[in-house]
Structure 1
């Protein structure tokens, strides 16, 4: 039996061909701490289409059609069924597209209480700060600037937060940067580049540590320093993407409510970002040692 872990999920992918399993593991395998993992069985079999109406969602500038019920999601030839103690992912064919895998694995993690954030996350000495904002706000540049200052970049834009423990993980494989940006902000990373993507951006590998850092602050680029609770909730829903089932919707609502009550959420801008990151990590360091 071939099993592996993605955050709190324990996946049995022994039914998949070796190349399909390797692709999933390369993209999603991540080790986290307790609580106990949630088992997910991946099987190859036929299934009847869900009778729910088909709808279209937009993810990462791509569109896909799907059907959902209270605890099931069907995306083409893939069907995810959630229960409180176990999940089953049934595939009509062993191949799973990158977009389908993104939607279904995100749904699994949300249902287990993890909150996705479209955010850059930087860490030092086990303490972390996440930086979110709309596309073009400067998250990738912030990642480069922080990397150049010696911070560990856990995520360029795919951060996962466990609200009650503040454990934070990045599920990006690469830090992507144009050559001129890399040379300007973090030239020492040029030697680590493993080629370029279709847009000409360097691919700098991001390592996934066995131990998660703890998140102390969430900074939103382009927002006023003080963010009211209602606005913070809206920003968190926007940063977290679309939950598809009742289970993940309820879990996400709880997670966002907890984050608003327990975490430092502030606005920042490009000029003050580095100062705010340093201040947040210093504050956490004092709180941890107290």
Structure 2
């Protein structure tokens, strides 16, 4: 029986303990700050916020390039001879990373590529679904496993609210006028992944304590989520009381397992400090 290895990107924010426990291999994306290129995962998130405070600029991010993918996959093939790799990638609608993986695998055999059309916790939800399938049936046919994973891609739902519009403005994602209006009215956008694209689907007004509860209740009211597992995502700076309340609501509404995920450097560069998100799979 040939071993199947699951891989993903650092933009999944897959917690290290889960990656280690389930042998999911993670390839880093990049964060560029002060002219230096950092591998995502090696740069403390607080350094990004400190950089913004100092310069009023946000770092830039870049995808994993095709050469890095080639070396990443070849290393796995060397460590696990005769293995089959199933790569579950960051949405191709927001990064060139998935296309670079396609280019890299032109020279390799026995690699399946799945565009998850999602990021952070939404991508982690798909990866962990694949982990569960594989661990429950280690001898599963790879093509069947790929088909089952792909069937869940449209079922992965991610919604988040940035802690501040400043990072969105600094990154050119909102205009100065929209920023000023949002700041004055204390408006915070809800952003979702729709067919792989980041889309603002709703606007909330008020403090994050109020907005976070509206977010989770709206999300659970709109989507019929699998109660087995829910992922809650936060960026550094979110009040612990908000996290506790989100946890309570998730458990009150019947979720068996709730896993908190900290946004890494790649995601935090776009979302800023104090953000909150929710992700899971629809039934």
Give the TM-score category using the shorter length. under 0.3
TM-score between the two structures when normalised by the length of structure 1: 0.26
Structure 1 or 2: more strand by fraction: 1
Q: Which has the higher helix share?
A: 2
Q: Which structure has the higher relative contact order (CA within 8 Å, separation 6+)? A: 2
